[in-house]
Amino acid sequence: MNEIPPSTSAVAFLGLGVMGNPMAGHLHARGHAVTVYNRTAEKAQHWASGHPGGQWVRTPREAAQSARVVFLCVGNDNDLRSIVYGPEGVLAGLQPGAVLVDHTTASAEVAREFARACSAQGAHFIDAPVSGGQVGAEKGQLTIMCGGDAAVFSQVAPIMQAYGKAVTLMGDSGAGQLTKMVNQICIAGTLQGLSEALNFAQRAGLDAPLVLDVISKGAAQSWQMENRGQTMVEDRFDFGFAVDWMRKDLGLVLAEAKSNGALLPLTALVDQFYAEVQGMGGGRWDTSSLIRRFRKRDDTH
């Protein structure tokens, strides 16, 4: 493929949610000519008005027509297919040699499907789910896990560094999505353990903030403890990665495990715990709200 200059590329970004909006902004700040699309056109208009030189369009096809790299960041497999296929979809405008990069957390199956569809018209595909949440997107400090052809990856990785602190090729198409599933398995287990530990500490009459300060200096330390432990103690969950999104991700994980034979008893259990949190009205709470299950138990006894 022709080399894509990392500092001067015409790019498109489709999906301006809490992740996509700042990610597109980082691309603009690096000097890329950015065209944006969002299903709610007002969001795209607002983004363009705040980024001089940025443009917005009404269809995915228009967004893809002049872009060397097209980035996607939407909700799920169905959302992806709705904007990639059809007469006004991305593929209808994607040019030969262009690269479609998907930052959505989706299935490995849809990643492989898009790789085949792009190849059929002389274009390329990289699945590139991210970790780091809204704060990571805003700070340009995301971890990006990629799947696809190594030569294609080498062309688009410098562009993704506008918002990625670590951009890594994990293997062929689908490998990025599979790595993100591993990431979510780890997060689910860690948050359940942290919830149980803090509930134990409080029931034992310990000073929970002091406990966190002490054990965070030892082997129990984790990102979740450093960034969510104190807010869990304070019962604050109106931020971060939502329970609804985690349940979507864990659904992908469990479906993949059913296919490949991996046993995930803890993950399946935590998924049901998150279903309980949803039943408490916590679908939009941060994923650290698992601890609310214990507090609900206390309230009912």
Residues 19 and 152 in one domain: yes
| Contact (CB, 8 A) for 89 and 61 | yes
**78/154 same-domain check:** yes
Model confidence pLDDT, tens digit, residues 24-42: 999 999 999 999 999 999 9
Which H or E element spans position 143?
strand 142-147
pLDDT at 107 exceeding the cut of 60: yes
Do both 123 and 215 map to the same domain? no
4 falls within a domain: no
Query: Residue 292's domain is classified under what CATH number?
Result: 1.10.1040.10
| Contact call for residues 65 and 53 (beta carbons, < 8 A) | no
The answer to which of 56-70, 96-110, 285-299 has the lowest mean pLDDT is: 285-299
- How far apart, in whole angstroms, are the C-alpha atoms of residue 64 and residue 93? 5
pLDDT of residue 3: 54
The pTM is what?
0.94
pLDDT digits (tens, 9 = 90+) for 54-98: 999 999 999 999 999 999 999 999 999 999 999 999 999 999 999
3: in domain? no
For residue 165, what are the contacts with CB-CB under 8 A and spacing of at least 6?
Answer: 132, 140, 141, 142, 143
Domain's final residue, options 121, 143, 171: 171
Position 212 scores a pLDDT of 98
Q: In the predicted model, what is the mean pLDDT of residues 148-153? A: 98
Q: Are 185 and 127 members of one domain?
A: no
Write out the residue range of the structural domain in which residue 32 sits: 10-171
Measured between alpha carbons, how far is 71 from 138 in angstroms, rounded to an integer? Answer: 17
* Confidence (pLDDT) at 5: 45
Instruction: Look at residues 171, 194, 219 and tell me which one is the last residue of a structural domain.
Output: 171
Residue 6: the pLDDT is 46
Same domain? For 115 and 53 the reply is yes
In this prediction, residues 6-14 reach a mean pLDDT of 79
Residue 296 pLDDT class (50, 70, 90 cuts): confident
Q: Is residue 104 domain-shared with residue 233, that is, in the same domain?
A: no
Read off the CATH number of the domain in which 162 is found. Answer: 3.40.50.720
- Check whether residue 164 and residue 197 sit in a common domain: no
Please check whether residues 145 and 193 belong to one and the same domain: no
Instruction: Tell me if residue 139 is catalytic.
Output: no
Instruction: Judge whether 201 lies within some domain.
Output: yes
Report yes or no on 5 lying in a domain: no
Of the pLDDT bands very low, low, confident and very high (cuts 50, 70, 90), residue 7 is: very low
Same structural domain, 64 and 94 = yes
With respect to residue 2, please indicate whether it lies within any of the assigned structural domains.
no
Please check whether residue 143 lies inside any domain of the structure.
Answer: yes
Question: Quick one: average pLDDT of 273-277?
Answer: 98
216 and 283 together in one domain:
yes
Instruction: From the candidates 165, 180, 248, 258, give the one annotated as an active-site residue.
Output: 180
Last residue of a domain, one of 121, 139, 171: 171
For range 178-197, the mean pLDDT: 98
Instruction: Please report which confidence band the pLDDT of residue 48 belongs to, taking 50, 70 and 90 as the band edges.
Output: very high
| Percentage of the chain exceeding pLDDT 90 | 95
Look over the chain and give the mean of its residue pLDDT values, rounded to a whole number. Answer: 96
Q: What percent of the chain has pLDDT over 70?
A: 96
pLDDT at 298: 65
Q: Is the pLDDT of residue 168 over 50?
A: yes
Task: State the pLDDT confidence band at 186, using cuts at 50, 70 and 90.
Answer: very high
Mean pLDDT to the nearest integer, 242-270: 98
- pLDDT higher than 60, residue 300: no
Helical ranges in 175-291 per DSSP H = 175-203, 208-215, 223-233, 243-260, 265-279
**For residue 289, is it within any domain?**
yes
Same domain, 201 and 103: no
Q: Tell whether 24 and 142 lie within a shared domain.
A: yes
Per-residue confidence (pLDDT) for residue 200, from 0 to 100: 98
**What does each C-alpha distance from 133 to 58, 129, 139 come to in angstroms?**
27, 11, 10
The pLDDT of 242-252, averaged and rounded, is 98
Residue 185 has pLDDT above 60, yes or no: yes
> Is 239 a member of any domain?
yes
Q: How many independent structural domains does the chain possess? A: 2
**CB of 211 closer than 8 Å to CB of 201:** yes
